A and B are shown apart, each in its own frame.
Chain A
């Protein structure tokens, strides 16, 4: 039930406790309690909105995906260096990955210069950072399982069918 609830609100965080109670056949109070628990356990970490910023004219933001090679630190592995990186406000996401690099840092900045400055002034000088490779995002196609491009999907079914 918890997993099913999470899947439902993962796709649509606007569903109200009243709607969810009808969808799952439990009381509204049970839904509220369950969500509160999931929030307390940090299973639910927040309720952001998926925005296609490319459509917001005043907003000239640049996204970069930076691959980072680091030296893990004794006793703390990658966690300490990851933390030093993810605490920066500009950093949107940080993942530890397998492959040629250790961390992927997704950065949102106002301009390419701002991102270049972050990499050269903040990221590269960190002692544990061995090397970085910065990739600028040219176009976003899909985020959080939802397509950002293409036409708005219309219901093309006939209105009444047997």
Chain B
């Protein structure tokens, strides 16, 4: 029999997180600080709207790019929260932010085009670039810069084949953000070198102490940027699978084409629920943000007390402490911690090689759970220091 598989697909490395998931799953009564999704339930009024749409029999396809009402609400929301002005025709509603990343890359890349990916980062950018026949080029972000992308790092990575830069901020796994002045430096290079940006802003609502700035809101950047956002993190709607992309109409039109053939349309029930989220969900977002902020401070303070130094993350719901002093790899540390104290955290290497020496700890957990987990981590670390 012939080999049924595509070489390109077979050569893609499986996600590093998968391996760790398998180990954790076999461990009974482990406490996990390993998830990348909110612990809150979707606010009831949003769920109720989804149920109501089902009761009314709204169970058909929507138009390919998404419900008209939803696209309108998205444009109003982006204006209100990110100072971004889009026409509803520049919006594509997708199956989660993940689909928007995939479709965006496929719409923009020709074989051999290079895509710059700052690491550590979310696990899907690299394989999505490969699947779109692009060439992923990683940029190692540094702890001393609080995992921001600097102008020099960007310049050093650019070649004549470079076409797209992925901007994953606020960042999973580091919790790092890019402030306006950081973005201005980047925008300057992007314009000068005639590049495009795919800006994954899925954590835009979860910044602490300052509002998120979208790179697309800087002068000259809107026509070069695809903004990706969604409902999973801000409204605790991960399972609804709903995100969106906004950008120049010529790019969005091509993205709609791929989306139309691959997906048809995003789930109708989720779209109705999302309309309610955007219309009446601001207070829910604020309340969740405040809860995350309290947990964030709790976690950072305790980790520093324990002797696991970490910079203060200003976004998302992760902290990224350094464990280099303990003489173990991230993988060894995480595995031993799991075996000895039954606490699951994710080795930084799951998010790129430069995550070596770090761990991702999620604070999408109640303070009570964080307390128990941190008590156990403290015992573990004390044992190591003896």
Contact = CB atoms under 8 A, between A and B. Distances in A.
A159 B371 contact: no
B295 interface: yes
B297 A159 contact: no
**Chain B interface size range:** 20 to 34
A162 B17 contact: yes
Nearest to B34: A160
B295 A159 contact: no
A22 interface: yes
B366 to A, nearest CB: 9
A8 B34 contact: no
A161 B302 CA distance: 24
B36 A162 contact: yes
Given A15-B367, A25-B301, A159 B294 contact: no
Contacts, number: 60
A23 B295 contact: yes
B15 A162 contact: yes
A24 B367 contact: no
Interface in B139-172: 172
B371 A160 contact: no
A8 B294 contact: yes
Contacts of B124: 162
Contact of B371 (A19, A158, A162): A19
A157 B37 contact: yes
Interface string A32-45: 00000000000000
19 contacts: A4-B290, A4-B294, A8-B294, A12-B368, A15-B367, A19-B298, A19-B371, A22-B297, A22-B298, A25-B297, A25-B301, A155-B39, A159-B24, A160-B20, A160-B24, A160-B34, A161-B21, A161-B34, A162-B36
> What are the 5 closest A-B residue pairs judged by CB atoms, nearest first?
A160-B34, A23-B294, A22-B301, A159-B32, A160-B21
